[in-house]
Amino acid sequence: MEHKNNDCNNLTPEVIKKLVESAHEAKKMSHSPYSKFRVGAAILTEEDKVIKGCNVENASYTLGVCAERCAIFKAISDGHKKFKALAIACDVIGLNLAPCGACRQIMHEFGGDYLIVLSQPDFTYKTITMNELLPFGFDDSDLNREKINYTN
């Protein structure tokens, strides 16, 4: 999965490279004075629009939001719900940072087959699909399954 040079999910290496660069650009906007852990994310929408997000921390620690969710919420609020890929960037040398569990669930809401690009500070990357990142993800189909009868 590392450094794919072939098409992934119909995306060329050039497109993926640009998305990784956008994630690193987004990282520069990070508001992370507490953790000192900058994260950036960039989503490629079905319409080939790139939407960036960064982690936004808060003095009330639990209120912060991750870069991935920031980017997704921006995309949704701009009217985009179908994605081709999402790239993530951090500053840790040698680490292909993967999303936290909460972000995986939010990301899964919008499809299981888009490409997740986990990059390093030197812009190298690994790719994985959303379904590989969150197998057996919970979604709306689970809500609509037949249920047992119960009384409260």
37 in contact with Zn ion (CB under 5 A)? no
Query: Residue 59 gets which letter from DSSP?
Result: S
Contact partners, residue 57, CB within 8 Å, separation at least 6: 31, 32, 33, 34, 35, 64
**Part in contact with Zn ion (CB under 5 A); list of ranges 21-29, 65-73, 84-92, 126-134:** 65-73
CA dist 21 to 31, 55, 60, 64, 109, Å? Answer: 19, 17, 31, 24, 25
133 in contact with Zn ion (CB under 5 A)? no
> Which position among 14, 21, 68, 132 bears the catalytic label?
68
Residue 66 or 86 having the CB closest to Zn ion:
66
**Part in contact with Zn ion (CB under 5 A); list of ranges 40-48, 53-61, 64-72, 107-115:** 64-72
100 in contact with Zn ion (CB under 5 A)? yes
Residues 52, 45 contacting (CB under 8 angstroms): no
End-to-end CA distance of the chain: 49
CB of 105 to Zn ion, least distance (A): 9
107 in contact with Zn ion (CB under 5 A)? no
Contact partners, residue 21, CB within 8 Å, separation at least 6: 123
CB of 68 to Zn ion, least distance (A): 5
Residue type, 56: V
Residues 46, 80 contacting (CB under 8 angstroms): yes
- Among 70, 103, 117, 130, the residue binding Zn ion under the rule CB under 5 A is 103
CB of 101 to Zn ion, least distance (A): 8
**Part in contact with Zn ion (CB under 5 A); list of ranges 13-21, 33-41, 81-89, 96-104:** 96-104
Residue type, 22: S
| Contacts with Zn ion, residue ranges (CB under 5 A) | 66, 100, 103
